[in-house]
A and B are shown apart, each in its own frame.
Chain A
């Protein structure tokens, strides 16, 4: 999978996607206005970002980033969250991804992280 394929897939889904540079000087794929439709955060809307690399094949990210912060910053299980180096307002969610890296699997992973029934808004 290449990151361009992931971006194209999201656009096909009707998402607004852009490339941003974080305060850490790293490029991210930013997905605007992701609606959380189930789980403890049902009804919330956020922006989601993952690192953008054009190196092929894309290497699975170890974290996703959301804006705004959706849950408390807590660097232990089960939250494993902290302020993101993208910049103010962003939250870093440390999450492993170990499935074959396809555009669908990666997007499903992101939605699954956000849809956990355990989450309560921070």
Chain B
């Protein structure tokens, strides 16, 4: 396989799987304090700009005679033969085993022999993908590595920098040398005093993307930088205009005169306001629906969706499931009376990703609105004129800065809760705020309906950029 398409062509590598897969693995691998265990599994490649991720999707659990348990554990030839024969065509092979100590795990001589010498060549020969090895510690931490072919019969180890378990929480184990935990900074003492040093480190190490740097996104950006997020990706192709000044944090009239990109305005703000020891910004003054914008999004551990266009939101909805990158999303719906005064204003905040309702099942996005936007019809004045009043209000995208402050605040709280795993921060469930009478409802956490096509692509790692190349449907 072309090196540009597999792990050796990328600066960073990671492994991701769902909380459901993690639970299956724990149920199989945890055998008490004196017995290790193993299983094989299958993974699909997911490619960002700098990061290659192995998306683990299906376990191939051992049957009778597939392994030998004697404190340590060893797989038999019949097991690996069966795993190779049954390998899905689009998938690589992973060996997962447990160790009897906590944290990121090193490899014993026996571990290396098993993966590099017994398996790496056979797996490469069958799949043209490198063997993936994972080790589970007693505290649920995961460590991972790929075995990259360097020459005929020679394989070298490339450690993953992270292993991400995606579900109610985004639980990331970091390689202690490749991604060391930063110390709490003097400017973060008050923040860390609330949620602790460990949570502050998790915040500092996760890469978070913000798609859309308008009214909500510009506030989210500064909130992240002050809170201590250090790896932030900014994606937006728009420039600052006069009409943005009442709703974009950090923008001023000179930015309008200079036609400054919104991402560069936010970049300026973040460089002034961050509290992290080092700030690692990926600034993309392009649409999400470009190769550059999309692959930068694919490098993120989580994304805050601050776009209001239905089609990009729909694509991020797909990304959350297919590539296991959870999305925090929000939306504002402001209806006005014929005299121009407020009739009804709501806003909502929610997280989508594996094990949770997608934007469609939540009712936060209509499939048909996404399709209309994809086909360019929401920019067609003739088409808009033919919409019903209710439809026109939904696509009007009315908003004021104060609404955005509330949405941004709750998005960041949901993000922090997800990354730190602390349920006492931000709320876990979808939230719906009614400006009159001023009540925040909490909706139940639910899964997608069984036939949902979005839940159906969980961990499939499909190439969603095919959608950018799709031609609009026939319409005159």
Q: What is the interface of chain A, defined by CB distance below 8 A to chain B?
A: 1, 22, 24-28, 50-51, 53-63, 65, 75-77, 80, 82-86, 92, 94, 96-102, 105
Contact A62 B471, CB 8 Å, known A57-B318, A76-B386: no
Q: Are B371 and A24 in contact (CB under 8 A)?
A: no
Residues 431-465 of B, flagged 1 when their CB comes within 8 A of A and 0 if not, give: 00000000000000000010111101100101010
- Residue total for B at the interface (Cβ-Cβ under 8 A): 34
Residue numbers in A under 8 Å from B452 (CB-CB)? 100
Contact A60 B368, CB 8 Å, known A75-B386, A100-B451, A105-B451: yes
Q: Closest CB-CB distance, A91 to chain B, in whole Å?
A: 11
From B462, which residue of chain A is reached at the shortest CB distance? A56
Q: Is the interface of B mostly helix, strand, loop or mixed?
A: loop
B453's partner among A24, A77, A86, A102 (CB-CB below 8 A) is: A102
Residue numbers in A under 8 Å from B457 (CB-CB)? 56-57
Contact A57 B474, CB 8 Å, known A96-B368, A97-B368: no
Residue numbers in A under 8 Å from B453 (CB-CB)? 1, 57-58, 100-102
Q: Are B474 and A92 in contact (CB under 8 A)?
A: yes
Q: Are A101 and B367 in contact (CB under 8 A)?
A: yes
Contact A60 B474, CB 8 Å, known A54-B466, A101-B453, A105-B451: no
Residues 311-331 of B, flagged 1 when their CB comes within 8 A of A and 0 if not, give: 000100010000000000000
CA distance A30 to B475 in the complex (A): 16
Contact A59 B467, CB 8 Å, known A51-B474, A85-B476, A97-B367: yes
CA distance A76 to B386 in the complex (A): 6
CA distance A26 to B386 in the complex (A): 24
Contact A57 B454, CB 8 Å, known A62-B375, A62-B377: yes
B367's partner among A60, A83, A102 (CB-CB below 8 A) is: A60
CA distance A84 to B370 in the complex (A): 21
A59's partner among B370, B388, B449, B469 (CB-CB below 8 A) is: B370
CA distance A84 to B476 in the complex (A): 7
Residue numbers in A under 8 Å from B370 (CB-CB)? 59
Q: Is B186 an interface residue (CB 8 A)?
A: no
Q: Are B473 and A63 in contact (CB under 8 A)?
A: yes
CA distance A1 to B456 in the complex (A): 8
From A99, which residue of chain B is reached at the shortest CB distance? B367
Q: Are B372 and A62 in contact (CB under 8 A)?
A: yes
CA distance A86 to B476 in the complex (A): 10
In this complex, the member of A61, A98, A102 whose beta carbon has the largest number of chain B beta carbons within 10 angstroms is A98
Residue numbers in A under 8 Å from B475 (CB-CB)? 62-63, 85, 92
Residue numbers in B under 8 Å from A58 (CB-CB)? 453
Residue numbers in B under 8 Å from A82 (CB-CB)? 476
Q: Is B189 an interface residue (CB 8 A)?
A: no
Q: Is B472 an interface residue (CB 8 A)?
A: yes
Q: Are A55 and B368 in contact (CB under 8 A)?
A: no
Q: Is B259 an interface residue (CB 8 A)?
A: no
Residue numbers in A under 8 Å from B469 (CB-CB)? 55
Residue numbers in B under 8 Å from A80 (CB-CB)? 386
B473's partner among A62, A83, A98, A99 (CB-CB below 8 A) is: A62
Q: Are A85 and B474 in contact (CB under 8 A)?
A: yes
Residue numbers in A under 8 Å from B470 (CB-CB)? 53, 55, 59
Q: Closest CB-CB distance, B17 to chain A, in whole Å?
A: 20
Q: Are A26 and B473 in contact (CB under 8 A)?
A: yes
From B449, which residue of chain A is reached at the shortest CB distance? A100
Q: List 25 A-B contacts (CB under 8 A).
A: A25-B471, A26-B472, A26-B474, A28-B474, A50-B473, A51-B471, A53-B466, A53-B471, A56-B460, A57-B457, A58-B453, A59-B314, A59-B374, A59-B467, A62-B371, A62-B372, A62-B375, A62-B473, A62-B475, A80-B386, A85-B476, A96-B368, A97-B368, A98-B367, A100-B360
Q: Are A55 and B466 in contact (CB under 8 A)?
A: yes
Residue numbers in B under 8 Å from A83 (CB-CB)? 476
From A83, which residue of chain B is reached at the shortest CB distance? B476
Q: Is B5 an interface residue (CB 8 A)?
A: no
- A94-B386, A97-B371, A100-B451 are known contacts; what are 6 more A-B pairs with Cβ within 8 Å? A55-B469, A59-B314, A59-B374, A63-B475, A75-B386, A83-B476
Q: Is B112 an interface residue (CB 8 A)?
A: no
CA distance A62 to B371 in the complex (A): 6
Residue numbers in B under 8 Å from A97 (CB-CB)? 367-368, 371
